[in-house]
A and B are shown apart, each in its own frame.
Chain A
């Protein structure tokens, strides 16, 4: 059995798992970053903002992880997660810039 050329469906599985794990991680990171900076900017104590965002971020990771396996379009799913994650992280850094 040749292992160099992956079965299209096996390759698809690998990509979908990668999208769920890595895309999901990027999304969660952005979510936590934006949550922390936005809540802190709104006046919540820092460690509270950090904790609440982390807690909700983990639940968000779970949700998008499941979502990636439920939706038909793999490329769109991956792009949405990475894009949204990057956008949220970008906003977080912007907010940080205005505060520090």
Chain B
């Protein structure tokens, strides 16, 4: 199809980059925001603006919470088609109770998985979850949406598009294409070392865009490659469900071996048994970690086969000081508290697995690295956005002459994806502050505002990119930049007006989750305003140039 390898790679980079670039912008941007997902949660749920808490006492705080949990009506309705027969009033046979916390969590999310009687698949489970204040066990209302960890974060790996799991597959394809774009980009870029530091902002838009595209792509190349790659590795089981389909028998064989080796039963015995003190088990686990020179907090606490003689409790150490998410798991017999099994040190392959997933999911404590990750993510966004701008600039004059609107559509889509995405994000945060506190399904309304704002931005983008069809700069960019600047300032002001937590107060108290979000928005407003002014100057400059040419022609 192509004369040589370089041309093939150039074609691949251009066209796959164009088509999947829009998805990748969303993935990179919300991925960058997800570094501080829990901090964004705090901004959106003022009731949770307190200090991060360690895992609370199971016996005193968590047990009553777990015992009172039940699946939501929504979950029950979704399970109905997967059940042959009547569904129970209460779900009492618990497969698993779990609680996971990190050094950044003030509130604690807990989940429970129950057996589903009469289900078509005997391994089926229905889930319930709750968010509590770990200091008291009091539950937060269920419809408070955690904008960071339950909206922006899932958006970046699934586009929140769950029909047939298509969102996951689109993101997966985009990740593969990202890897291909990075390799093909390197192949195409002949002067990769010579132009390593090159950025010429005063040249034509096309040249500056290409310079910036190359710069942001190359300096953060390891970051871009590793994040796309580890993202695919994390969801490999979803994209290639080999061991749950073709090799399922092999998987079952392994599970039987593992049950024998570790003494952790796969199934319930069917004999009820009481639950010993989990707090005592936690204390024992912490004692064992300390004796190995690894004193630490509990990251993950899970109870399997609750209420059964085969029940066991698994306690994992939080990976705050290392890349791995959790580790050093110790498993206790639920009815007596004796240690059944201590996880052995990880094998070489398991260490690599922990490293790769941990570096992507980042539950470690390292504020500099987190901010450097945000920088990397935003560099990725700039890389993709400048790629789109370069594509449009290169072709718009040509398309204008041909009367084709290809460049205009690409530009409108670029505006929608770059500034439109910012408008949607800020729109959601503003709605979060403006919607009535006790509005039922408040979280759903916030999501509607997000998508609604984005649609409005898209409509505006298509309307205001008409000049591109004549080979000129679209006013849509400048106008949306001004909108972003105004909305970011509005969001910060609304936070002050509705919660009283203005910047001076949060900075004085050192409450960085809220201060950080406010500051980030103010800096963004400043950058957006600066960009809008520069774009305005460029348009006036181009208009002046055209006027001068027209004058000269008349003279």
Binding site for B on A (CB under 8 A): 12-13, 16, 21, 28-29, 32-33, 36-37, 40, 44-48, 50-52, 54-55, 57-59, 61-62, 65-66, 69-70, 72, 74, 89, 92-93, 96, 99-100
Contacts and interface: CB of A to CB of B under 8 A. Distances in A.
A40 B8 contact: no
B356 interface: yes
Interface in B292-309: none
B350 A62 contact: no
Nearest to B11: A69
A6 B184 CA distance: 28
A92 B246 CA distance: 9
Interface stretch (B95-103, B228-236, B434-442): B228-236
Contacts of A58: 176, 229, 232-233, 236
Interface in B338-356: 347, 349-350, 352-353, 356
B82 interface: no
A100 B255 CA distance: 12
Which of A33, A72, A74 counts the most B-chain CB atoms under 10 A from its CB?
A33
5 contacts: A46-B250, A50-B242, A51-B233, A58-B229, A96-B247
Given A40-B254, A54-B233, 12 more contacts: A16-B1, A36-B243, A36-B247, A51-B236, A55-B352, A58-B176, A58-B233, A59-B229, A62-B183, A66-B180, A70-B8, A92-B246
A12 B2 CA distance: 12
A33 B246 contact: yes
> Would you call the interface of chain A mostly helix, strand, loop, or mixed?
helix
A70 B233 contact: no
Interface string B161-191: 0000000000001001001100110000000
Contact of B1 (A40, A51, A69): A69
Given A12-B1, A36-B247, A48-B349, A62 B236 contact: no
> Would you call the interface of chain B mostly helix, strand, loop, or mixed?
helix
Contacts of A57: 236, 240
B246 A48 contact: no
Contacts, number: 102
B120 interface: no
Given A40-B254, A58-B233, A65 B180 contact: yes
Interface string B243-258: 1001101111110011
A32 B65 CA distance: 42
Interface in B201-260: 229, 232-233, 236-237, 240, 242-243, 246-247, 249-254, 257-258
Contacts of B448: none
Interface of B: 1-2, 5, 8-9, 11-12, 173, 176, 179-180, 183-184, 229, 232-233, 236-237, 240, 242-243, 246-247, 249-254, 257-258, 347, 349-350, 352-353, 356
A40 to B, nearest CB: 7
A53 to B, nearest CB: 8
**Chain A to chain B: the 7 pairs with minimum beta-carbon distance, closest first:** A46-B254, A54-B236, A48-B349, A100-B249, A69-B8, A51-B353, A96-B250
